[in-house]
């Protein structure tokens, strides 16, 4: 099973050789087994990557993410066809029951808000307003409690002057970067399970080819918030970006058992897809924090 998150941070040539990714820099050549790589983040615009390597990584189901000059993830590789994709899966997805989708969205929103509440509790911040809004959640979140809670939550977590849309702010840059890593991870799991990322249960933008991943990732956003709030961020440095990628290795509780965030993403995706396809009766997932703010140093940067 792929487990390594590899970041390329300097001028390099990436190529394929005998089931290995070959990384050539001014310091020499490093080889990494393709089967180990879950995510390849190309964090320099001075990297050359061969088409053969991209093809082989796609065969392995590895996500390759490219960034812009400001280090924001700007594009990623998406396979034309999932390894398990077939007509039956696509047909089932096109005809997912509306009520099932709305029930799942209600669960997703509740999980997200509950995790936001737990973030505030972990940092000993006021929770009364958020708890009040969570108790007002209705079926399919028709009153949009998600947005109301988000407004209260971010101001409690990052201060009353915090504005989520301020793209020039270091905290927002870190949040957006972390969310992009989450989105890519969910895309990978959805495709691996044989489904299309375009067809969501709530998000439905024609400009968003990742609507389903945008839906399913919502309960996991607070784990990014949790990490960012635990750092003293002055600038959006490489160490911050490494830490956000390594967040996939954060230990959390999933249905009462300790696991890595990446594993929880896999389990949650499978359970949601199984529910929508009527393979399971309900989504019982519950996730929680281990009382530790991570500060991992990545070991796979080049």
CATH code: domain of residue 201: 1.20.120.920
Structural tokens at position 209: 């080819």
Q: State residue 72's pLDDT score.
A: 81
- State whether 51 and 10 are in the same domain: yes
Whole-number pLDDT of residue 81 = 65
Least confident of 59-73, 81-95, 225-239: 81-95
Does the structure show a pLDDT above 60 at 279?
yes
**What is d(CA 186, CA 182) in angstroms, rounded to the nearest whole number?**
6
Phi, psi of 13, rounded to the nearest 5 degrees: -115, 125
Domain count, the chain: 2
The answer to the question of residue 271 being in a domain is yes
284 domain-assigned: yes
Mean pLDDT of 104-120: 97
**Is 95 within any annotated ligand binding site?**
no
Q: Looking at the structure, tell me whether residues 63 and 115 fall in a common domain.
A: no
Only one residue has tokens 């201060």, namely 159
pLDDT for 51 beyond 90: yes
Q: Residue 148 pLDDT > 70, yes or no? A: yes
CA distance linking residue 40 with residue 22, whole number of Å: 13
> For residues 99 and 205, is the Cβ–Cβ distance under 8 A?
no
Question: Residues 41, 156: one domain?
Answer: no
Residue 220 lies in a domain: yes
pLDDT tens figures, 191-202: 888 898 999 999
Claim to verify: residue 105 and residue 184 sit in the same structural domain: yes
Answer yes or no: do 59 and 134 share one domain: no
Residue 297, domain member (yes or no): no
Pair 71, 165 in one domain: no
**pLDDT band of 246, cuts 50, 70, 90:** very high
Q: Are residues 135 and 278 in the same domain?
A: yes
User: Which of 37, 55, 76 finishes a domain?
Assistant: 76
The answer to whether position 294 is within a domain reads no
Q: What pLDDT is recorded for position 300? A: 39
Confirm whether 70 is domain-assigned: yes
Q: What was the pLDDT predicted at 302?
A: 37
Neighbouring residues of 165: CB distance < 8 A, sequence distance ≥ 6: 172
**Confidence check: pLDDT of 298 > 50:** no
Query: Are 172 and 217 within one domain?
Result: yes
| 285 and 181, same domain (yes or no) | yes
Residue 99 belongs to some domain of the structure? yes
* Confidence (pLDDT) at 251: 94
203 is in an annotated binding site: yes
Asked whether the predicted pLDDT for residue 30 surpasses 50, the reply is yes
In this predicted structure, the answer to whether residue 168 has a pLDDT above a threshold of 80 is no
Is the same domain home to 195 and 139?
yes
Average pLDDT over residues 137-153: 97
Range of the structural domain that residue 40 is part of: 4-76
Give the tokens for residue 15.
Answer: 């190529």
The answer to whether 146 is a known ligand-binding residue is yes
The answer to whether residue 293 scores a pLDDT higher than 60 is no
281 and 142 share a domain?
yes
Do 114 and 66 belong to one domain?
no
Provide the 3-class DSSP secondary structure of residue 237: coil
**The tokens of 34 are what?**
């393709």
Share of the chain above pLDDT 90, in %: 70
Is pLDDT at 301 greater than 60 in this prediction?
Answer: no
In a domain, 82, yes or no: no
- Among 76, 96, 116, which residue terminates a domain? 76
* pLDDT greater than 50 at residue 107: yes
């Amino acid at each position: 099973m792929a487990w390594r998150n590899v970041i390329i941070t300097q001028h390099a040539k990436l190529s394929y050789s005998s089931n290995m990714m070959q990384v050539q820099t001014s310091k020499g050549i490093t080889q990494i087994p393709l089967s180990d790589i879950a995510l390849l983040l190309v964090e320099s615009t001075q990297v050359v990557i061969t088409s053969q390597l991209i093809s082989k990584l796609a065969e392995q189901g590895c996500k390759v993410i490219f960034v812009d000059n400001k280090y924001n993830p700007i594009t990623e590789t998406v396979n034309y066809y999932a390894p398990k994709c077939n007509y039956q899966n696509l047909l089932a997805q096109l005809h997912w029951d509306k009520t099932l989708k709305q029930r799942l969205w209600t669960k997703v929103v509740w999980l997200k808000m509950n995790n936001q509440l737990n973030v505030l509790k972990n940092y000993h911040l006021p929770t009364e307003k958020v708890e009040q809004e969570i108790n007002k959640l209705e079926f399919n979140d028709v009153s949009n409690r998600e947005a109301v809670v988000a407004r209260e939550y971010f101001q409690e977590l990052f201060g009353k002057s915090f504005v989520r849309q301020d793209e020039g702010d270091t905290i927002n840059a870190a949040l957006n970067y972390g969310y992009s890593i989450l989105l890519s991870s969910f895309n990978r799991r959805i495709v691996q399970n044989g489904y299309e990322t375009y067809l969501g249960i709530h998000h439905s933008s024609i400009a968003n080819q990742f609507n389903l991943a945008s839906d399913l990732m919502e309960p996991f956003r607070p784990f990014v918030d949790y990490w960012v709030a635990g750092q003293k961020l002055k600038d959006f440095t490489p160490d911050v970006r490494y830490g956000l990628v390594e967040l996939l290795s954060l230990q959390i509780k999933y249905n009462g058992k300790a696991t890595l965030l990446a594993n929880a993403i896999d389990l949650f995706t499978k359970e949601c897809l199984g529910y929508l396809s009527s393979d399971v009766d309900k989504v019982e997932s519950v996730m929680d924090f281990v009382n530790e703010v991570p500060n991992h140093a990545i070991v796979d940067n080049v």
